Amino acid sequence: MKLTYQTTEPLSPRPPASTKAGVLVRRRGVRPRRSPAGKATNELVFSAYQGMNADVFPHVLSLHVPVGSKIADITYGKGVFWKNVKLEYYELVQSDIKQGIDCRALPYKDQTFDCVVFDPPYMHTPGGTAHEGHQNYESYYKNNGTGNGTNKKYHEAVLDLYFLGSAEAWRVLKPGGVLIVKCQDEVCACKQRLTHVEIINYLTETMFIVEDLFVLMRTNKPGVSRVLRQRHARKNHSYFLVFRRKSVKPTS
Ligand SMILES: C[S@@+](CC[C@H](N)C(=O)[O-])C[C@H]1O[C@@H](n2cnc3c(N)ncnc32)[C@H](O)[C@@H]1O
């Protein structure tokens, strides 16, 4: 299948990569030189946007996932990411724990997909009265209902799912395939946990090369349920991380 970059997506301003080597400039008495190809522009995909997931995701795709790619969204949820994407450009296979498909045990053959999209819960609600203020996350993210397969809790459980799901993504991705990970940092038990750093460090040590990082900033002002004294900046941004699959998974 021949893959080409999309050029008509309204939210994808990236022009197709120029294949021209430039024009040969000749001036009398001067050695001919090749002028560089391309043009000056600021019509580009940027690393930070203010808005919603659906505003940024098409930009991530336009830069890193060629039209015609076979994509698995393994935490599809309500499919919000895809709201502004022209679905006819891709072959999308969607799944979620809500459909009984665990991202850690995908029902796909090795090396099936050009791209995997992974947006697991960025917070953990272990049940009981813990994280009481976050119980709404449980109904949305379903991270307690997955029976995590681990006795880890809170942030360690969040990381566990990212790491195991990414390893499974590595298995189903073709060599050189792209993994798009959505995440948000959190303060857990009063400790600053920079989830995006932890994910990048882990994945690039083992299975992937990091290709890109997008910051998404919320448009509204998030609050907290109770505050006595604020110790850390309230997070109002999240990340899309883009990784490329290494051919060989190191054994260590
Ligand atoms: C942040 S939401 C994803 C939102 C989604 N990107 C969208 O556009 O609607 C997290 C999703 O992960 C799913 N999930 C939680 N644990 C999972 C697991 N072990 N395997 C697959 N999906 C899981 C939840 O059901 C939820 O839909």
Model confidence over 201-238: pLDDT tens digits? Answer: 999 998 999 999 999 999 999 988 888 899 999 999 99
Query: What pLDDT is recorded for position 127?
Result: 52
**Could you tell me the pTM of the whole model?**
0.84
In this structure, what DSSP letter does residue 190 have?
T
**What is the number of alpha carbons within 13 Å of residue 84 lying toward its C-beta?**
17
Query: What pLDDT is recorded for position 56?
Result: 98
Cβ(52) – ligand 1 distance below 6 Å? no
Cα of 120 to ligand 1 centre, how many Å? 5
d(C-alpha 127, C-alpha 143), whole Å: 10
**How many CB atoms are closer than 10 A to CB 189?**
8
Query: What pLDDT is recorded for position 247?
Result: 86
Query: What pLDDT is recorded for position 49?
Result: 97
End-to-end CA distance of the chain: 35
Cβ(102) – ligand 1 distance below 6 Å? yes
d(C-alpha 120, C-alpha 142), whole Å: 9
Give the pLDDT confidence of 151-196 residue by residue, as tens digits.
Answer: 677 888 899 999 999 999 999 999 999 999 999 999 888 899 999 9
Q: Quote the radius of gyration of the chain (alpha carbons, Å).
A: 21
Cα of 119 to ligand 1 centre, how many Å? 6
Query: What pLDDT is recorded for position 7?
Result: 38
Q: Name the strand (E) or helix (H) holding 178.
A: strand 173-183
Nearest CA, atom 5, ligand 1 = 77
> What would the mean pLDDT of 21-30 be, rounded to a whole number?
78
Cβ(148) – ligand 1 distance below 6 Å? no
Query: What pLDDT is recorded for position 97?
Result: 93
- Residue 48's DSSP bridge partners are 215
